[in-house]
Amino acid sequence: IVIVIIAVVLGLTLRQNKSEFESTFLSRCEKFNQYDCKKLWGVFQQAYVDKDPCKVLVEAYNPLIAAAPFKPQCNKTMFWSKTKDVVHGFTDKRKDCFVTLEDTLLGSVLDGLTWCGKEGSKDTFTSGCPGWSECENNPVRSFWICASAAFADVACGDVTAMLNGSINTPFNPTSIFASVEVPRFNASRVKKLNVVMVIQKNNISNCNHSSLKNLTQALDTGITYSCKDVSESRIQECGAKPEIACGACW
């Protein structure tokens, strides 16, 4: 009996417990059905496990994106920069109108999470990982760049971007939107970019801001540009009232 108990206890300790991170990954993934989430977890881990957490290249996530590709959703793609809460507060309620990266399988699974590996270990760590700009090739940053690029690659028709009118530089060249997404909008797929400038009570910028000139210049020839100043309360109203047609939100 003693031997059996020892064997069971030893067995339980040696069996790698599913980490909280893995459980989060799988439970978020399973909400989407139609994907083999255990397989995706395996492909995801390959990108960063057993690696120096400052040496994970953007390309390391290509197999993951290939395993769960983004589907083109023409006229519904929503980009954003420094407006995360407003955008998701809106798109969470109006999935009929717009889809953000964070509403897709991979984006929603990894949204808000931190992860990294360590050389010589097959584990996933959630603390002690490099910060966003601590080193360029960190696992989290590389994932978001890779996913954002792939998401922008399939954008089509009229695309929308929510920018922040309460900051100095609504179109910031160092943002993912400016540095990764806009350069990949292809005129053969994307017809028009509609910027929604989110205006709060103490706004300091609007559609006339000089940084937007850089945006129009960065756009592929053939893509039309528009910008509209829209109050945050109007965006919230549209989120709260499904009877307002998507095209009439602003």
Interface positions with ligand AVW (CB under 6 A): 79-82, 84, 101, 132-133, 144, 148, 151, 175-177, 181
Least Cβ distance, residue 174 to ligand AVW (angstroms):
8
Q: Pick the closer one to ligand AVW by CB: 64 or 101.
A: 101
Active site residue 29: no
Q: Which of 37, 97, 156, 238 is catalytic?
A: 156
Q: Pick the closer one to ligand AVW by CB: 92 or 119.
A: 92
Angle between helices 20-30 and 37-46 (to 10 degrees): 130
Q: Pick the closer one to ligand AVW by CB: 47 or 162.
A: 162
Question: Closest residue to ligand AVW, Cβ-based?
Answer: 132
**Residue 208, burial from CB neighbour count under 10 angstroms (0-12, 13-18, 19+):** exposed
C-alpha atoms less than 13 angstroms from C-alpha of 76 in its C-beta half-sphere: 16
Radius of gyration of the chain (CA): 21
Q: Please answer whether residues 94 and 244 qualify as being in contact, where contact means their C-beta atoms are separated by less than 8 angstroms.
A: no
Q: Please answer whether residues 144 and 132 qualify as being in contact, where contact means their C-beta atoms are separated by less than 8 angstroms.
A: no
DSSP-assigned states of every residue in 87-145: HHHHHTT-TTT-B-GGGSHHHHHHTT---B--TT----BSSSPPPTTTSTB-HHHHHHH
Active site residue 97: no
Q: Pick the closer one to ligand AVW by CB: 25 or 80.
A: 80
Name residues whose C-beta falls within 8 Å of residue 174's C-beta, 6 or more positions apart in sequence.
none
User: Could you give the residue numbers annotated as active site?
Assistant: 74, 156
